[in-house]
Amino acid sequence: MKIVFHKDYCRVYSSDPAAAPGRIEAILRELAGLEFVEPEPAGEGDVQLVHTQSHVSYVKGMPQVYEVALLAAGGAIKASEIALGGEPAFAVIRPPGHHASRDSCWGFCYFNNVAVSVEKLRVEGRIGKAVIVDIDLHYGDGTADIFAGVPEVIYHHVALGGAETFLSDLEEFLGSIRECDIVAVSAGFDRHREDWGGMLETEDYRRAAEIIKGFSEERCAGRRYAVLEGGYNHAVLGRSVRAFIEGFR
Ligand SMILES: [Zn+2]
């Protein structure tokens, strides 16, 4: 298990809650003892795999954001490559990405990190089919937009509700998948009881990760990775990430 991380993710690049001071540090405090690897920034050509030139230019117009957004996409790419090599990975990155569509973005997102990483593996011919599981509170409209009409990439936002609804919907969805070469997780933690969603306990993240791990071992030789999306209560975010990683590794 590798943790993909770069110190520049601690930078405060805007005034939104995903960029809040101390948010990444709250996660890092819980990840002591794990093995960290540093990513390279994505190239402009990488983000152009899923975004229009006008969107890339829009983000480029915010130089501080552009730099860290490329680094976040690079973190997802790094995690995907580690996973493809047979080892699970979790990317502690920001800004998040699942509200970034081909030609627009909102919700604290700029480039769609998970989509860039999946599409890069696909265009390079290193995978055929991929599944993206989104456990964030919010629907990843950007990811859904990017892969609309692409039957090789299946996006699923796990049903909203308490632990029973959440875990059974996740199991049911994964049970419906026949072919898959890699599973990517948009790992947001804002459903937590003490976060915006008020739905899940910390332990539910461990159980979700165990289900995804089991699926990946059965269907795609264990190839799995997760990238950070939302999660805003610094008092519980780190423990949720830790619980997820313990179930995922
Ligand atoms: Zn969210």
> DSSP of 192-243, one letter per residue?
BTTSSS--B-HHHHHHHHHHHHHHHHHHSTT-EEEEE-----HHHHHHHHHH
pLDDT 10s digits, 139-183:
999 999 999 999 999 999 999 999 999 999 999 999 999 999 999
Ligand 1 centroid distance, CA of 99 (Å)? 9
Residue 234 designated active-site: no
Centroid of ligand 1 to alpha carbon of 43 (angstroms): 26
Q: Which residues contact 222 (CB under 8 A, 6 or more apart)?
A: 86, 88, 213, 216
Q: How far is the CA of 125 from the centre of ligand 1 (A)?
A: 31
User: H helices of the chain, where?
Assistant: 23-28, 44-47, 53-60, 63-84, 113-123, 141-146, 163-175, 202-219, 234-248
Q: What is the mean pLDDT of residues 16-44?
A: 97
* Gap between the Cα atoms of 124 and 198, Å rounded: 40
Instruction: Point out the catalytic residue in the list 6, 51, 99, 138.
Output: 99
Contacts of 214 (CB under 8 A, 6+ apart): none
Cβ-based neighbours of 149, under 8 Å, separated by 6 or more: none
Q: How many Cβ atoms are within 10 Å of 133's Cβ, its own excluded? A: 25
- pLDDT averaged over the chain? 98
Nearest to 86 by CA among 184, 187, 220: 220
- pLDDT, one tens digit per residue, over 33-90 is 999 999 999 999 999 999 999 999 999 999 999 999 999 999 999 999 999 999 999 9
